[in-house]
Amino acid sequence: MGSSTTSNESNDIPCSYIPVPDSPDAAGAAVEPRRQVKGLFVIFCGMLVLISLVAFNGYYRASNNGHEQASLAAALTKIIVEESGSETVPASSRWQQAASRGVSAGVSEKTNRLFSSSNSNGEMYPWNNSMLSWQRTAFHFQPEKNWMNDPNGPLYYKGWYHFFYQYNPNGAIWGDIVWGHAISRDLIHWQHLPLAMVADQWYDKNGVWTGSATILPNGEIIMLYTGSTNESVQVQNLAYPADPSDPLLIDWVKYPSNPVLFPPPGIGATDFRDPTTAWLTSQGKWRITIGSKLNKTGIALVYDTVDFKTYEKIEGLLHAVPKTGMWECVDFFPVSKEVKNGLDTSINGAGVKHVMKVSLDDDRHDYYAIGTYDEKNVKFIADDVKNDVGIGLRYDYGVFYASKTFFDDSKARRVLWGWIGESDAEYADVAKGWASLQGIPRTVALDTKTGSNLLQWPVAEVESLRLRSDEFKDLKAKPGSVVPIDVGTATQLDIVAEFEIEKEELEKVTSESNVDKYNCESSGGAAQRGALGPFGLLVLADDGLSEYTPVYFYVVKGSDGNLKTSFCSDQSRSSVANDVVKKTFGSFVPVLEGEKFSVRILVDHSIVESFAQGGRTTVTSRVYPTRAIYGAARLFLFNNATDVSITASLKVWQMNSAFIRPYNPDQSN
């Protein structure tokens, strides 16, 4: 696997992990830190493939539960038959397809594909320090420097929110992954603590990867995480606080008999990762699920335990969906059909639906389905099989991946974290010294009006950052118009807006037989004009509109008179730079009878998070303007429809910056 150049800079963040002796099984394994040896890299890659296969066979022999092997084999055989005659792909095949860092290590491609973008003249865009400095956000969580990806084990404990995350202490590119750790009183202002866990054991030598926290009824914290062994086999490990009385949870201990789980027979050595938060069954056992795949079928394996040290593999699978590929970062939790409050992960029964969410390795998007959990038969049954996990609804239709929820019992809510990667060139990330951030934490609840969607909304605490506000009522925008919204500089904003189409004009619009013709990603973005759209806001725009990011609705009137609405974010004109990704994101959003078109947008330098219709559809974009920055950033209302005028009402707040800094014992409150 490629990695960034290492240095002693990792000492800037002290490591607090209390090491335990290496497992006796690791005798003879290399214990020195990894070093870049460019001359031997090609040879090592070939050797690693052979070593992984040998090690994998050894682990199979160590897993001597015959019943488990037979039951899993039966479930996997069933999947092969259902996959329309597709042939089984050897576990070693993903080594042959390695495209960049991450893939060769057996995880999703964790870095931007733009490694060295250039324009037609072979020149990279001339980014300067002022442009790059502007990109750093003001109220989104990110480390002081270097690379960050998946959120890990979020929890609330003794008055503090804890956030752990995948972190490279040695550079702004993926590699050398350990667990960063930060704490907060309110999910907005954060203090960086020492690293929680580092890659210092044979079973996590190649990375302390994603995991989840479970808080037991007695208050005990259990942390399960995936480790990549010295031979790149994915195993599950147990860790726990060294001092449970410490509300900051600074020191962590790894269980001396790790790993607690190996890949079961029939599962690839690099296809077994990301254990979920555990939930309590009616039999008094704790249950977890772990993502995997067989050929191109994504699957969720299930294990029961009473002590988190020994596990029983449950026959069959919690869920499986053909042609969805590897399932990463599986999340499984209940939502109430009756109230907006979140539910503890162990809740089941009447008045409850369950959500299964997976992160698809193949396309790096987070999908979810709402359905029923049959505890007795250990099955998740999606309400709508046509929109099952991996083929239907997504948490977010933009840049948003590897998400994880936790139940915040202090406020009876379920909170969602999501990793927001970069969309620029890697050399720019190296130049600015950091890469990636986390989205604003969101509450998650069932949309009881539709019954088929989740509602995601920024946590209420973000409103504490609101400063001066400007309100604009009943603004008119004729077809083809752009209207300035005078809020001053528009780099850090919280925008709430509603739009209405003039009813008389709407009635005159000719209906269309194909209401599905418009697609955010492939229909030309905000420049594609239709009778009823697009209309919305231009954020991070400059006065001359040489750069702007439209966030908009596009409406199509069907032959039955009903409207179908898409909600989109168009990055194609967000920057004049040639070496950034500039796509259009979005999807269909339900707009119910009597509802106005509504959106909330959080603008924070290089990230734009948009929530339509109360959070039924969300879109997150990363944008990298070169001119619409600092005091030159502006906000506009636009209507690019051909046949109707719109009326808009907005309230716009300037946003303060969050305090995100190293931990200071004297300022812990």
Q: Kind of pairing, strands 634-639 and 481-485?
A: antiparallel
| Residue with tokens 């963040």, as numbered in its chain | 13
296 vs 299: CA distance, rounded Å: 10
Q: Which residues of 234-269 are buried (b: 16+ CB within 10 A; e: fewer)?
A: bbbbbbebeeeeeebbbebbbbeebbbbbbbbbbbb
| Residue with tokens 């955010």, as numbered in its chain | 520
Report the DSSP beta bridge partners of residue 371.
354, 382
Residue-wise DSSP of 185-212: SSSSSEEEEEEEE-S-SGGGTT-EEEEE
605 vs 559: CA distance, rounded Å: 42
Is-contact 184 190, C-beta < 8 A? yes
- Of the candidates 280, 267, 334, 282, the residue with the CA atom closest to the CA atom of residue 308: 280
451 vs 89: CA distance, rounded Å: 38
Catalytically active residues, by annotation:
150
End-to-end CA distance of the chain: 42
| Residue with tokens 């792909």, as numbered in its chain | 89
Is-contact 444 154, C-beta < 8 A? no
178 vs 181: CA distance, rounded Å: 10
Q: How many CB atoms lie within 10 A of CB 437?
A: 23
User: Looking at the chain, how many residues does it have?
Assistant: 669
- Of the candidates 242, 374, 394, 265, the residue with the CA atom closest to the CA atom of residue 319: 374
Provide Rg for the chain, Cα atoms: 25
DSSP 389: T
364 vs 657: CA distance, rounded Å: 30
Query: For 666, phi and psi rounded to 5 degrees?
Result: -80, -15
- Of the candidates 168, 198, 201, the residue with the CA atom closest to the CA atom of residue 4: 168
Is-contact 312 304, C-beta < 8 A? yes
| Residues contacting residue 252 through CB under 8 Å, at least 6 positions apart | 16, 17, 18, 196, 197, 223, 239, 240, 241, 242
- Of the candidates 272, 146, 294, 162, the residue with the CA atom closest to the CA atom of residue 209: 272
Q: Kind of pairing, strands 660-662 and 190-197?
A: parallel
CA 356-360-362 angle, to 5 degrees, is: 160
Q: Which helix (H) or strand (E) holds 427?
A: helix 426-432
